[in-house]
Amino acid sequence: MVRLFVNKYPQYNIYNVDKLTYAGNLANLKDIEDKPNYHFIKADICDFPLMLDIMQRDNIDGIIHLAAESHVDRSIKDPFTFAQTNVMGTLSLLQAAKAYWESLPEKFEGKRFYHISTDEVYGALEVPHPEGIKPPFTTKASSGEHHLAYGEKFFTEDLKYQPHSPYSAAKASSDHFVRAFHDTFGMPTIVTNCSNNYGPYQFPEKLIPLFINNIRHRKPLPVYGKGENVRDWLYVEDHARAIDLIFHQGKVAETYNIGGFNEWKNIDIIKVVINTVDRLLGRPEGADMDLITYVTDRAGHDMRYAIDSSKLQRELGWEPSLQFEEGIEKTVRWYLDNQEWMDNITSGDYVKYYEDMYKNR
């Protein structure tokens, strides 16, 4: 998203605020770090005085809030960190924006606080239909022969929240704070809830980059339960395009769901990844299926997520541009072509390098 905005809007000054925790990696933005409209600030969003200082010093008139702890397994082990970053960090940004914008003569006019959230706040849909059913929607990206829906219900913007993990509970709370600041103070806020993203530069604790790397090294592929859980997948650049569109054209106080109309069982997506990696590495297709290793299921593991993006499509004209097979091909090629990046990530070398670079900033 930062890369898209820096390149597309040279008239904007883009300030990338990042604490650079374990998943933060400035090498991901090396291609734009010298752009005159790009500015990096190493900071913790929970630091309210610093957030307010940044708002005032740099005359910030728009916030796109993506900073969050996002890995469910980590939230189960350490819910305090998720509450601190996702809830208190969001509140810190909201209060800093409110304090600065209210001090201006125009106050909230021309301002926008855009909060990115997750589909997991809605809880879980029904147990997936084993064979899939014909989807009740048609889009350019969902018309491929491999697309199935695994149920008749979908997450829509008017569903009540039913979070089941510490991660989704923290995100749900942050969503409520954002909406409360609109209702109480008139802040110009927008919330979006997105499905699983995949694509380049993703930290390899997430399923697709983790499995690409494990297949490359012929390591086990741990699959929760029977691999029957269903997720809706969206290529990351399609999400960035949606953010761009909603930030500029979305209606204040609205919620928009962003999804790929692209449901896959975990075990099926894993098999696609295996076949793709094997083919691109010159191995017999499917040669690494024996790496699949079934492990004890995650506590409270939701069975199915499925986003209905028809509101976004209808009101703003957005739709996903890639079918999954095309997106996964691009994704696998990127990780295989950038093995040095992956090796640096998995070794942890990048952490010390960037800590040393920015420790005095």
Query: Which position has the token pair 């099926």?
Result: 268
- Tell me the residue type at 26: L
Q: 96: how many CB neighbours lie within 10 A of its CB?
A: 23
Query: Which position has the token pair 């919620």?
Result: 255
DSSP-assigned beta bridge partners for residue 294: 223
Active-site residues, by number, are 119-120, 167
CA distances from 329 to 76, 161, 332 (A): 32, 34, 5
Neighbouring residues of 303: CB distance < 8 A, sequence distance ≥ 6? 124, 125, 126, 127, 128, 228, 229, 230
Query: Which position has the token pair 């997105």?
Result: 194
- Tokens for 127, please give them: 């147990």
The backbone torsions φ and ψ at residue 320, rounded to the nearest 5 degrees and listed phi first, read -65, 145
Neighbouring residues of 64: CB distance < 8 A, sequence distance ≥ 6? 1, 114, 116, 243, 247
Whole-angstrom distance, CA of residue 5 vs CA of residue 16? 11
